[in-house]
Amino acid sequence: MSGRATAPRGARGASDARVAAGSQGVARFVLLGLVGVGKGTQAKRLSARLGLAHLATGDLLRRHQEEGTELGLLAKGYMERGELLPDDVVIRMVLGELEKEACRPGCIFDGFPRTVEQALALDRAVGPEGVRKVLYLQVPEEVLLRRLSGRLVCRRCQTPYHRESAPPRVEGKCDVCRGELYQRADDRPEVVGRRLQVQQEELVPLLNYYARQGKLLRVNGDLGMEAVEEAILAALGLLAPRG
């Protein structure tokens, strides 16, 4: 299979931020945050802005599933149950990606590492300075609860909607296929609350690991998409002073 990690898109006109990011060698950044904080969105934006590959393990595993590879078959059960895959499997996949041409200038990790074991393996592979900084996107829990528990999905074509931010034109009906909209069992407020709590508990050891290395940067994710991107670049010291 070819080209797994996504090469940067929208690469027109090298920005100052990109030049600054590249001037210090291979630029690898990790994005951390709970489900719903907008990690994937920011990873894509940063990838384009900084000219780095976007290495999203969830996306890679979904693509493996679509292509019916051995890894995809293995991943299916874990992903359907919402469980993490074994560390050694994910580590092997990520290290394979890192060797590809698309990752040569650097990459944005999205969804990896998820455990300290994975963080240790990454450090062993790229060296102690191989990961430059780790960005922790923070959004208050009540905002996440509102974002996640407002989600609706079409039963027929799976198009996602949101009660507040992206409602359908006709209540309860899909704009695309007129199918019935429903709330997934794991998006019900009581379940979402539990999912967030479990994720937060899993995140703490990773946050501590990177804080001890002096690499952890906390960024307010409760802003508009562009403002969060600017906040990330500012935290990384990659924004040219406005003149």
Judged by the rule CB under 6 A, the positions of this chain that interact with ligand AMP are 57-58, 61, 78-79, 82-85, 90, 111-112, 114, 118
- Which is the catalytic residue, given 39, 44, 45, 147? 39
146 is catalytic: no
Nearest distance from C-beta of residue 109 to ligand AMP, angstroms: 9
Residue 223, number of CB atoms within 10 A of its CB: 14
Q: Which is nearer to ligand AMP, 111 or 221 (CB)?
A: 111
Q: Which is nearer to ligand AMP, 112 or 161 (CB)?
A: 112
Nearest distance from C-beta of residue 96 to ligand AMP, angstroms: 14
Three-class secondary structure of residue 172 per DSSP: coil
195 is catalytic: yes
φ and ψ of 138, to 5 deg? -110, 130
Q: Which is nearer to ligand AMP, 126 or 239 (CB)?
A: 126
Q: Is the alpha carbon torsion for 6, 7, 12, 13 positive or negative?
A: positive
39 is catalytic: yes
Compute and round to an integer the Cα radius of gyration of the chain. 19
- Which is the catalytic residue, given 100, 195, 215, 218? 195
Contact 8, 52 (CB under 8 A): yes
Distance CA 196, CA 155 (A): 25
Do you know the residue count of the chain? 243
Structure tokens at 43: 């990873």
- Give the type of residue at 151: R
Q: Which is nearer to ligand AMP, 87 or 175 (CB)?
A: 87
Nearest distance from C-beta of residue 5 to ligand AMP, angstroms: 14
Nearest distance from C-beta of residue 141 to ligand AMP, angstroms: 18
Q: Which residues have a catalytic role annotated?
A: 39, 114, 151, 184, 195
